[in-house]
Chain A
Amino acid sequence: MEPSLAVLIGFLVACGAYLMMSSNLIRFLFGLTIISNAANLAIFAAGRMTFGLPALVPEGAETVEGTVANSLPQALILTAIVIGFGLFVFSLSLVLRAYAEFGTADSGGMREAEPEDARRPATLDPELR
């Protein structure tokens, strides 16, 4: 099970990395989401794989019996998913806003903060435009 999961994680990272090479910010964000999900899967695999063994304490017993799934990585992933979702929503709205401001979702077109000729920021000074 672990080897196939490793291949899947590798495939996801490759897809994500490919998308992140793009200067289109939407593609970049999708790449980022895919890689962050690959990271979640890696944490899941780090907790060792088990099948059909929920970490439940039987009725009347004090502790679990035999091998059960490791519930800590699941808790970690849950936290990471929530955080990742929040960050994704923020960055998506940032891209949307940037698209509205700049008329492009291409990072090459955003040269406001670091103008190509630092001595003459094109849009800061209307008289120099």
Chain B
Amino acid sequence: MLLAAPILLPLGTAIILFLLRHHPVHKLLSVLSAGVLIILGGTILAETAANGPMSAQMGGWAAPYGITLAADTLSGAMVLIAGIATFTALMFATVEVDKPTEALGFHALCHAMVGGVCGAFLTGDLFNLYVWFEVMLISSFGLLVVGGGRRQMDGAMKYVALNLVGTIAFLTGVGLLYGTAGTLNMADLGVKLQGRMDETAVMGAAGMLLFAFAAKAALFPVFFWLPASYHTPAAATSALFSALLTKVGVYSLLRVFTLIFDPGNEVISTALLIAAGFTIVLGAMGAAAEGEMRRIFSFHIVSQIGVMTLGLAIGTELALSGAVFYFFHHIPAMMGLILLGGLIGRECGSERLDRIGGLWTAAPWLGILFLIPMLSLIGVPPLSGFWAKFFMIRASFEAGDYLLGALILMASVLTFFYLGRVFVAAFWQPRPGVEAEAIPACYPHRLLVLPVMLLAAVTLGISLSPDNFFALAGDAAGGLRDPIPYLRTVLGGS
């Protein structure tokens, strides 16, 4: 029951919120429900970290015949992060999103998407994973266009088109695997496909799934939908997307390519290494070339997705732990920065770097708040990003991939350049066309500032005790490296 709760809660909330969407109280309910999701995620994480993986068979059909829900430390941590992300983004949205958009069901769509995301984190069945992907996808389509004009319509078009292609590849891969192994339970697939990686059908299915998840995660060469669309909707939506959607793609890669397919396979790990390397470089270079806050952030997300995937591509214990730790570091810092971008855009009336400025005198505390996630994402010690990059670079050096370690370092230098440029533009440069004295002191609504502060607090918390979080990431990575406890929990027996 505990495992189904993080799925049923958002989906149930979505229905209630849709019915109440004209009433002001629905915003409060929406944020509260996200708060409960944090508690549920924390409970699952505590449970799995203490007692190992847990599973539940839906409808009382024993695995591998029924649909299994399963959670290990990684799933628990992801649900907890999803809860925190939803809570902060929705709190920001209560003020940012206008009434007509709310009346179209903005909050209901958010919760439906979160339901799909949590389903993807908790399911133990490959076809069920496909269904949760679709739930997440269709809600994100809605969120992307809701209350939008031409700009959002344009971004949504590209997002929808490229994601649908990934979806079909996923479905075909699932079909091929079923034809080969006769099962769709992920644990059972892992057992049945052991040592069969050289079969054409298995390799073909692996290729299909690799393509599908890479498209969801925004990996090279299929990342173009992300920078085309993420900057168009409300900042709260962008932040929620950045925290959840691409991360579900990376999570699925981590899960499927350790549990179902042999993680040591040369072809797959080489493909992942190349994709990750190009993603890191092209994402960072794209960000450096942009001139608008959230477009810079979008490319930055792409670049960081590459680093996380690198963890899987290298595949050692340290690399996988580093990838999971990267989740912990990246999601709150990135969300904080995107929400701040939205805040600055509201204050200055534009998100373009040549239109903003003068905020240091108007709101120096906003600058301090901006520096925390920014320096963390660059990787300045002692902030969380330093530790995340330290673990990943060390993992790639230990595995002999010196080039990739150097790429992460180079991307950090570029990050310093483009995020520094945003900071200088927003805070230090005079606002073009406006006298410095004419800029009023800036007092944003406190519900816009509180989520940013909460996320900064999470970043600082991780920075202060990286060892605890790294131990947790190591626990999650251990579950990926050695799936025996997971298999035993789902399938029972030995």
Chain A contact residues, CB within 8 Å of chain B:
20, 25, 28, 32, 35-36, 39-40, 42-43, 45-48, 72-73, 76, 79-80, 83, 86-87, 90-91, 94-95, 97-98, 101-102, 107, 110-114, 118-119, 123-124
> In the assembly, what is the distance between CA of A102 and CA of B161, in Å?
17
Number of residue pairs across A and B with beta carbons under 8 Å?
107
> In the assembly, what is the distance between CA of A80 and CA of B152, in Å?
28
Add 4 more A-B contacts to A35-B168, A73-B178, A76-B178 (CB < 8 A). Answer: A39-B171, A87-B167, A111-B154, A112-B154
A94 contact from B145, B227, B232, Cβ within 8 A: B145
10 example contacts (A-B, Cβ-Cβ < 8 A) are as follows: A20-B165, A46-B178, A46-B180, A73-B178, A80-B171, A91-B161, A91-B164, A94-B157, A112-B150, A113-B154
Instruction: Tell me which residues across on chain B come within 8 A of A43, comparing CB atoms.
Output: 171-172, 174-175, 178
Would you call B156 and A94 a contact (CB within 8 A)?
A: yes
Interface residues of B in 217-275 (CB under 8 A from A): 227-229, 231-232
- By secondary structure, the A interface counts as helix
Given A76-B127, A86-B138, are A95 and B157 neighbors across the interface (CB < 8 Å)? yes
Would you call A90 and B138 a contact (CB within 8 A)?
A: yes
Does B179 sit at the interface, judged by CB under 8 A? yes
Chain A, residue nearest B157 (CB): A98
Instruction: Tell me which residues across on chain B come within 8 A of A25, comparing CB atoms.
Output: 157, 161
Instruction: Tell me which residues across on chain A come within 8 A of B127, comparing CB atoms.
Output: 76, 79
Does B447 sit at the interface, judged by CB under 8 A? no
> In the assembly, what is the distance between CA of A124 and CA of B351, in Å?
12
Chain B, residue nearest A37 (CB): B168
Given A113-B232, A118-B290, are A46 and B176 neighbors across the interface (CB < 8 Å)? yes
Would you call B175 and A46 a contact (CB within 8 A)?
A: yes
A90 contact from B141, B168, B180, Cβ within 8 A: B141
Instruction: Tell me which residues across on chain A come within 8 A of B291, comparing CB atoms.
Output: 118-119
> In the assembly, what is the distance between CA of A123 and CA of B150, in Å?
10
Does B153 sit at the interface, judged by CB under 8 A? yes
B165 contact from A32, A83, A118, Cβ within 8 A: A32
Instruction: Tell me which residues across on chain B come within 8 A of A39, comparing CB atoms.
Output: 168, 171-172, 175
Would you call A36 and B171 a contact (CB within 8 A)?
A: yes
Interface residues of B in 109-136 (CB under 8 A from A): 127, 131, 134
Would you call B150 and A102 a contact (CB within 8 A)?
A: yes
Does B317 sit at the interface, judged by CB under 8 A? no
Chain A, residue nearest B156 (CB): A94
Q: Mark contacts of B86-116 with chain A using CB atoms, 8 A cut-off: 1 yes-contact digit, 0 otherwise.
A: 0000000000000000000000000000000
Interface extent on B, as a size class?
Answer: 35 or more
* Most chain B CB within a 10 A radius of its CB, from A36, A40, A112, A124: A112
Instruction: Tell me which residues across on chain B come within 8 A of A76, comparing CB atoms.
Output: 127, 174-175, 178
Would you call A119 and B157 a contact (CB within 8 A)?
A: no
Would you call A101 and B153 a contact (CB within 8 A)?
A: yes
Does B15 sit at the interface, judged by CB under 8 A? no
Chain B contact residues, CB within 8 Å of chain A:
127, 131, 134, 137-138, 141, 145, 149-158, 160-161, 164-165, 167-168, 171-172, 174-176, 178-180, 227-229, 231-232, 290-292, 295, 352, 354
Instruction: Tell me which residues across on chain A come within 8 A of B157, comparing CB atoms.
Output: 25, 94-95, 98, 107, 110
Q: How far is the CB of B232 from chain A (nearest CB, A)?
A: 5
Q: How far is the CB of A103 from chain B (nearest CB, A)?
A: 11
A101 contact from B131, B150, B160, B352, Cβ within 8 A: B150
Chain A, residue nearest B180 (CB): A46
Chain A, residue nearest B291 (CB): A118
Given A32-B165, A42-B176, A83-B131, are A98 and B290 neighbors across the interface (CB < 8 Å)? no
Would you call A32 and B154 a contact (CB within 8 A)?
A: no
Instruction: Tell me which residues across on chain A come within 8 A of B174, comparing CB atoms.
Output: 43, 76
Q: How far is the CB of A63 from chain B (nearest CB, A)?
A: 14
Given A112-B151, A114-B228, are A87 and B138 neighbors across the interface (CB < 8 Å)? yes
For the complex of A and B, 6 pairs with smallest distance between CB atoms: A46-B179, A43-B175, A112-B154, A113-B155, A113-B154, A39-B172
> In the assembly, what is the distance between CA of A42 and CA of B205, in Å?
12
* Most chain A CB within a 10 A radius of its CB, from B152, B167, B168, B352: B168
B179 contact from A47, A79, A86, A123, Cβ within 8 A: A47
Would you call A90 and B175 a contact (CB within 8 A)?
A: no
Would you call B164 and A87 a contact (CB within 8 A)?
A: yes
Q: How far is the CB of A114 from chain B (nearest CB, A)?
A: 6
Q: How far is the CB of B357 from chain A (nearest CB, A)?
A: 16
Given A42-B176, A46-B175, A102-B150, are A32 and B164 neighbors across the interface (CB < 8 Å)? yes
Chain B, residue nearest A9 (CB): B172
Would you call A113 and B172 a contact (CB within 8 A)?
A: no
Would you call A73 and B229 a contact (CB within 8 A)?
A: no
> In the assembly, what is the distance between CA of A119 and CA of B137, in Å?
31
Given A32-B168, A46-B176, A83-B134, are A118 and B292 neighbors across the interface (CB < 8 Å)? yes
Would you call A28 and B161 a contact (CB within 8 A)?
A: yes
Instruction: Tell me which residues across on chain B come within 8 A of A94, comparing CB atoms.
Output: 141, 145, 153, 156-157, 160
